[in-house]
Amino acid sequence: MRNIWAIAWKETKTYFASPMAYIVGAVFVGITGFFFVDAISVPFPVASVRGFLDRAVLLVMPVWAPIITMRLLAEEQKLGTLELLMTAPVRDYEIVLGKFLATLFIFLGTLLLTLWFVLLLFFFGDPDPLPLLVAYLGFILYGAAALAVGLLASSLSPNQIVAAAVGFGVLLLLTFMQQAADQVKGAASTILGEVALTGHMDDFLRGILSTKDVGYYVSLVALFLFLTVRLVESRRWR
Amino acid sequence: MPAMIEADNLTKYYGSLLGIQGLSFQMERGEVLGFLGPNGAGKTTAMRILTGFMPPTSGSARIAGYDVNTQSLEARRHIGYLPETVPLYTEMTVTDYLTYMGTLRGMASKQMAHRIAEVIGVCHLEEYRLTYISKLSKGFRQRVGIAQAILHEPDVLILDEPTIGIDPIQVVETRQLIKGLGGNHTVILSSHILPEVSMVCDRVLIIHEGRVVAIDTPANLSAHLRSTQRIEAEVRGPSAEVMPLLRELNGVQDVRRQGDGLVATYVIEARPGADLREPIATLVVQRGWGLLRLQSVEMSLEEIFLRLTTSEEQ
Ligand SMILES: Nc1ncnc2c1ncn2[C@@H]1O[C@H](COP(=O)(O)OP(=O)(O)O)[C@@H](O)[C@H]1O
Ligand SMILES: [Mg+2]
């Protein structure tokens, strides 16, 4: 546990010490802010976060998540510091969990900035707080899954650009599966829809909390983190 | 007392490419051993196995009694390691970096500040404790690397080419620093420079193309080199006749036979200087025996030595 915290804390500090953090954070808030304003600038605006969160899922996260994760394991391989980590009395899964926790901190930190929009909603409207919470919970779960995908991509090679591109590619694929599911019929549609990353967000955004959707994101995170640990381990065999 | 490091028949293949083959040795507490060998000899491979970074293809090793493969985490607790590339997080300050490494090595936070001050003193980094590592020269980075390796006071220190690529004055300082570490730690360092290992190490293990060529004290190694020369001859012929005739050759000091039957290998110890390969060949051919192999064994060691001795001037 101590190792996981030490790694998570170090990575979080490193991230927020770089100017990149603030540029990426500003872009995140800027774009989601635009979606927010756009979603409520309609004849009969609804006081909810659904309008900006669903577009953040589609258009922001597939790019944003790989940018946050690309450095984490790729740079350790490039600098050779992974050799020091892997010869310290630290388990391979502690390395991966520490890094993942750091990405969660960074994600939550950035998400805090969007609470400004929620405050505006409460100031000018009368939103129902429970669906808001559910929507945010869904977005956090979805974000965690996207970050786990990005972390896996980062373990593949010492090259950060490759990590970002692979992460983006996989997220895009998992997103477009939903579009594909809407095109076909029958069992294929069901399967594609169940596997796709975005469909499970719909209920959350409507304020409906279902264990199936929570289970989906949690298992996805577990699966991708497990694969990442295996890939880090495989460094020992090369 | 059990040995601090035991390596038993370590072998590592990268696919079909040989890394090291049949590496065995033991070390007592406080000893300093040098891995000596040219580039590609297998020094880094051996160290990566000992530090638990990668498993051997076959064979086993123990650090402080713990198997590096099956009790990896325990073994790793007893090791301080400086990889060849001196990997450091350049965006951290020296103190932050040491604190991070100390934490991962399981040091209690209470002793950390005190111990970091100590190693910063030992490695002469006082002026740079709050400097970002990216701003440090190669030589100072090397010292930070050594500082993180000794920080948690490990029983075993493994330093891969600790003096490569730094300027001559820093090389001298680093050698003195390492020499001072023996006694408290059991140290393995690797080098391709013969004078360096003779200066710093109690024993030298010479590796060439993945195989151990010799392991002994620097004094014994050079004495041995000066006193004899060894030739191996594989001969088909009646050994009762071969042995005495080989002994009679001018310059031969001793002959031993390996294997019996009609084909055997004769190990011939000769006075240095005299190259006996030609007289042996002539003798065997005149007698009508078969000469299957004739090899100057000690010559190859000498050649390695020669290469190692001269490489420092480059
Ligand atoms: N990761 C690797 N993959 C494939 N071959 C390797 C790898 N590391 C080392 N080798 C090979 O193993 C041999 C020994 O290398 P190494 O242990 O690095 O030698 P040294 O440290 O003595 O220079 C060399 O032939 C090298 O090419
Ligand atoms: Mg090497």
**Yes or no, beta carbons of B83 and A84 under 8 Å apart:** yes
Average pLDDT over residues A149-175: 95
**Substitution candidate for ligand 1 out of A82, A234, A237, A238 with most atoms within 8 A of CB:** A238
* A238 Cα to the center of ligand 1, angstroms: 11
- Measured between CA atoms, how close is B117 to chain A, in angstroms? 21
More confident residue, A44 or A161: A161
* B36 Cα to the center of ligand 1, angstroms: 15
Is B139 a residue whose pLDDT tops 60? Answer: yes
Strand ranges (E), chain A: none
Average pLDDT over residues B220-237: 78
Find out whether B243 and B289 touch, Cβ atoms under 8 Å.
no
Is B54 a residue whose pLDDT tops 90? Answer: yes
* B100 C-beta closer than 6 A to ligand 1: no
pLDDT tens, position by position, A125-159: 777 888 888 888 999 999 999 999 999 999 999 99
Q: Which domains does chain B have, with CATH numbers?
A: 5-223 (3.40.50.300), 227-298 (3.30.70.1340)
Domain ranges (residues) in chain A:
2-237
pLDDT tens, position by position, A23-63: 988 888 888 888 887 877 776 666 677 777 777 777 788 89
Closest Cβ opposite residue B103 in set A6, A82, A237: A6
* B42 C-beta closer than 6 A to ligand 1: yes
More confident residue, A134 or B226: A134
Q: B76-108 burial, b if ≥16 CB within 10 A, otherwise e?
A: bbbbbbbbbbbbbbeebbbbbbbbbbbbbbebe
Find out whether B264 and B243 touch, Cβ atoms under 8 Å.
no
Round to whole Å and give the CA distance between B94 and B113. 13
* B37 C-beta closer than 6 A to ligand 1: yes
pLDDT tens, position by position, B266-288: 988 887 667 788 889 999 999 99
Round to whole Å and give the CA distance between A229 and A99. 11
List residues of A whose CB lies inside 8 A of any B CB.
Answer: 2-3, 6-7, 10, 14, 17-18, 79-91, 236-238
Is B312 a residue whose pLDDT tops 50? Answer: no
Round to whole Å and give the CA distance between A225 and A99. 10
Q: What is the pLDDT of residue B258?
A: 83
More confident residue, B229 or B235: B235
Is A85 a residue whose pLDDT tops 60? Answer: yes
**Residue B165, SS3?**
coil
Give the nearest ligand 1 atom to B12 CA.
Answer: 12
Mean pLDDT of chain A: 89
**Residue B313 — very low, low, confident or very high, per pLDDT cuts 50/70/90?**
very low
> Which tokens hold the place of B262?
């009609």
Q: What is the pLDDT of residue A47?
A: 66
Task: Give the H or E element holding residue B23.
Answer: strand B17-27
Task: Give the H or E element holding residue A218.
Answer: helix A211-234
**pTM given for the model:** 0.84
What sign results for the dihedral spanned by CA atoms A39, A58, A215, A24? negative
Is B310 a residue whose pLDDT tops 70? Answer: no
Is B141 a residue whose pLDDT tops 50? Answer: yes
Is B311 a residue whose pLDDT tops 50? Answer: no
pLDDT tens, position by position, A197-221: 888 888 888 888 889 999 999 999 9
Is B223 a residue whose pLDDT tops 80? Answer: no
**Substitution candidate for ligand 1 out of B21, B35, B45 with most atoms within 8 A of CB:** B45
